[in-house]
Amino acid sequence: MNGMKPRTFFFLLLAWPLPLQGATTPPVQVVWDFDGGISNEYGGHYNTYKRAPSWARTYLDAREARASRGHSLRITAHREAEGFCGVWMDFRPASEAPHQYFDAGSYRYLSFWAKGEKGGEDFEVSLTDAATANDDEHPSRKLRAYLPGGLPATWRPVVIPLSDFRGIDPRRLLRMTLNLTRKGDYRFYLDDIAFQREPIADPPAKNAEATVNSAINGGAPRAMWAWNTKPLLDAEKPQEADRFLAFCVAQKIGMVFLAAEFDRVTDAPGAALRLRNPEGYRTFLKRAHQKGLTVEALAGTPEWALRARHPEALVAVDSIIAFNGESGPDGRFEGVHFDVEPYSLLGYSDPFYRSEILLGLVEQAEKCRDRAHAAGLTFSCDLPSWFFAPGGLERDRLIVNFKGQEKTAGEHVADLVDSVTIMDYTNQADGAGGIIARALPALDYAAAHHRKVVVGVETFAESDSTVTFVLGLPAEEFWPRLAKSGLRGQYRLDDFRMSLCSDDLNMHIGLSTPREMAPEKQAVFEGALARLARQFGASSDPDRYHPSEMLSMVRAALAEKPEWKGFEPYEFVDSDTGRHVQCFRSTHRMLPSITFHGLGRETFDEEMASTVEWLGRHPGFGGTAVHFYESFRELVEGDEPPSGVRSQKASASVN
């Protein structure tokens, strides 16, 4: 994680001390043995690099260690003629300022142990030093220069003279990289990367205590989101609830975040909500409790972070309290679980408005917690893992002052609520950008404040979504106009989801575009776009703004963002003004690295086991959670989710 301060993780087991200046150095200095988790004993990290259609994954594998105990690093990859992929391993923390280099000046050889899954695997090995840190090319050597047949299918040491890496300064080393350059599929294992004085030397024996036992916390609690309640509450088709509950038992689910669907109460004074189909909820809750499940009422919408909308959030809590009051002990919710996600609001990207939104989120959490606790209910929240950023600009953007204390919004909320579930959405446990690394800041904070954090993962793949953007305005003009528009606290306009796009100079506002629209819907859509164009479009002042230049800038900016695909200029006539409105379209896609969708049950189980293995000893770890039922079931059982299942986390459903 870029910008992270170097830390020694709680599970890091030190086997060999860092050589001291002037001290007698050992004949072999192991720098990576992969037995300490996602970092080595010096604080260095590793990760994959890739560009589609090529890809690479890593996994800390306890079944294929060089010795009888410990772990190796398993590398699985697919290399196409296009794109690239490989793995880098820093010797020291890359985030240290000034840079700290690894001094291998006392050694003559780089060595490591490796084995192929099938044999014949090949790659290039490169070293990076202080002088080449910013270069695209680094001194490298082909593996076949030392193993002519490539990797064997049994463990084999590879020893490379440091002098073969021409021009490298062994006293100022930063990184070792494996470049996978040959087209095809790879799977091989790496262990005990070391520097040594002589060409033949065995690494120190594995530390018997260096292996983390995955069974220590193999029974970690697991939760699951369930958004689509209609089939689960259908009294005429109880088999759907049967299937859900059986799935929970099979997957060791202990807690369910069950979406609360509301109806407005029109015959009550003031604003009031009532759970839709209360008898269906009671029946389901009774059956879930019989299976030993804990069930929390799941609700939320981004607007609830705004102070003006806090009463709505409190009304939702009140409706759950009222439902529990009308139900027997076995037909009640144990708690309320909010999924608010304020960063979906249009104004969240405004640096001057963001802190107001975040403070509102914290204040809302306190109010709703108090209301829930007064009725004997727990109160918990979903937050993104990056709400606990440990340092740098990312942390600065999240800091709010609440009751005289300056912390990130995530830290404030964690102080207030009973439990936080972080949305840690990536599909690889290890590595510098993996589930473990992203979760640690939140877990570290929770542990220091006697709290627990549940680590959530994604199994759903959103469909690609076309967005039509109004060609916009320079940022310094866009933000004041947005502040006056009344749209900062919204994320939908005429039922179309709004999006923002920046090309670093200009801001462009757009609407998600349905694939097929009837003429009436098309008219509503273009009417909404026209209203946006009058307030935020370059076409509102064609004498000042030049569409061709702005189109070129945003086209280039989107081409650098992997989550956007394609670019199509689009124009229509504002029926009210007769003015041509210049727009552009691009397709937003969910990055494959976010979700386990399509990777299969074996990969999911393996990565979750690794997550629990390495986080299981952390005092701040409260278990895992899976988003969400239908997509998780598809991954496990191979079934397609039923039509109509929400394609993203839903807002509170109110009719």
- Mind listing the domains of the chain with CATH numbers? 28-196 (2.60.120.430), 222-461+604-654 (3.20.20.80), 465-588 (no CATH)
Looking at residue 267, its pLDDT comes to: 66
Q: Contact 422/435 with Cβ under 8 angstroms? A: no
Of 136, 142, 302, give the one whose Cα is nearest residue 648.
302
The yes-or-no verdict on residue 3 having pLDDT over 50 is no
Task: Give the DSSP per-residue string, 408-468.
Answer: EHHHHHHHHSSEEEEE---S-SSSTTSHHHHHHHHHHHHHHTT--EEEEEE---PPPEEEE
List pLDDT tens digits, range 440-467.
999 999 999 999 999 999 999 999 999 9
- What is the distance between the alpha carbons of residues 496 and 493, in angstroms, rounded to a whole number? 5
- What is the distance between the alpha carbons of residues 289 and 635, in angstroms, rounded to a whole number? 25
- What is the distance between the alpha carbons of residues 508 and 114, in angstroms, rounded to a whole number? 50
Q: Contact 346/500 with Cβ under 8 angstroms? A: yes
The mean pLDDT of 509-523, rounded to a whole number, is 91
Looking at residue 646, its pLDDT comes to: 46
Of 513, 533, 534, give the one whose Cα is nearest residue 525.
513
Q: Calculate Rg over the CA atoms of the chain.
A: 27
The mean pLDDT of 595-620, rounded to a whole number, is 95
> pLDDT class for 269, splitting at 50, 70, 90?
low
Looking at residue 186, its pLDDT comes to: 95
The mean pLDDT of 370-391, rounded to a whole number, is 97
Per mean pLDDT, which range of 166-180, 213-227, 537-551 is the poorest? 213-227
Looking at residue 2, its pLDDT comes to: 40
The yes-or-no verdict on residue 208 having pLDDT over 90 is no
List pLDDT tens digits, range 572-587.
888 888 888 999 999 9
Looking at residue 639, its pLDDT comes to: 63
The yes-or-no verdict on residue 439 having pLDDT over 50 is yes
DSSP SS3 for 553: helix
* Direct distance between the N- and C-terminal alpha carbons of the chain, in angstroms, rounded to an integer: 42
* Strand intervals (E) in 33-136: 46-51, 55-61, 72-79, 84-90, 109-116, 124-129
Looking at residue 137, its pLDDT comes to: 83
> pLDDT class for 18, splitting at 50, 70, 90?
very low
Burial 439-475 (b: 16+ CB within 10 A, else e): bbbbbbbbbeeebbbbbbbbbbbeeebbbbbbbbbee
Q: How many CB atoms lie within 10 A of CB 246?
A: 11
Looking at residue 5, its pLDDT comes to: 34
SS3 helix, strand, coil % of the chain, rounded to 5? 30, 30, 40
Of 424, 474, 487, give the one whose Cα is nearest residue 615.
424
Average pLDDT, the chain: 90
> pLDDT class for 652, splitting at 50, 70, 90?
low
Per mean pLDDT, which range of 92-106, 303-317, 509-523 is the poorest? 92-106
Q: Contact 461/423 with Cβ under 8 angstroms? A: no
Q: Contact 198/39 with Cβ under 8 angstroms? A: no
List pLDDT tens digits, range 274-320.
999 999 999 999 999 999 999 999 999 999 999 999 999 999 999 99
List pLDDT tens digits, range 470-511.
999 999 999 999 999 999 999 999 999 999 999 999 999 999
Tokens read off for 405 = 């204390």
The mean pLDDT of 72-89, rounded to a whole number, is 96
The yes-or-no verdict on residue 80 having pLDDT over 80 is yes
Q: How many CB atoms lie within 10 A of CB 654?
A: 17
List pLDDT tens digits, range 36-63.
899 999 999 999 999 989 999 999 999 9
Of 8, 48, 1, 93, give the one whose Cα is nearest residue 438.
1
The yes-or-no verdict on residue 355 having pLDDT over 80 is yes
Residues in the chain: 655
Given the structure tokens 């879930």, which residue do they identify? 288
The mean pLDDT of 350-374, rounded to a whole number, is 96
User: 468 pairs with which residues across the strands?
Assistant: 511, 585
Asked whether the whole model's pTM tops 0.85, one would answer yes
Q: What are phi and psi of 397, to 5 degrees?
A: -70, -20
Looking at residue 507, its pLDDT comes to: 96
The yes-or-no verdict on residue 142 having pLDDT over 80 is yes
Indicate the pairing of strand 72-79 with strand 55-61. Answer: antiparallel
The yes-or-no verdict on residue 19 having pLDDT over 70 is no
* Degrees to nearest 5, angle at CA 111 with 105 and 116: 160
Looking at residue 268, its pLDDT comes to: 61
Looking at residue 548, its pLDDT comes to: 87
The yes-or-no verdict on residue 589 having pLDDT over 90 is yes
> pLDDT class for 257, splitting at 50, 70, 90?
very high
Rounded to the nearest angstrom, the gap between the alpha carbon of residue 252 and the centroid of all alpha carbons in its chain is 23
The yes-or-no verdict on residue 398 having pLDDT over 70 is yes
Looking at residue 351, its pLDDT comes to: 85
Looking at residue 517, its pLDDT comes to: 87
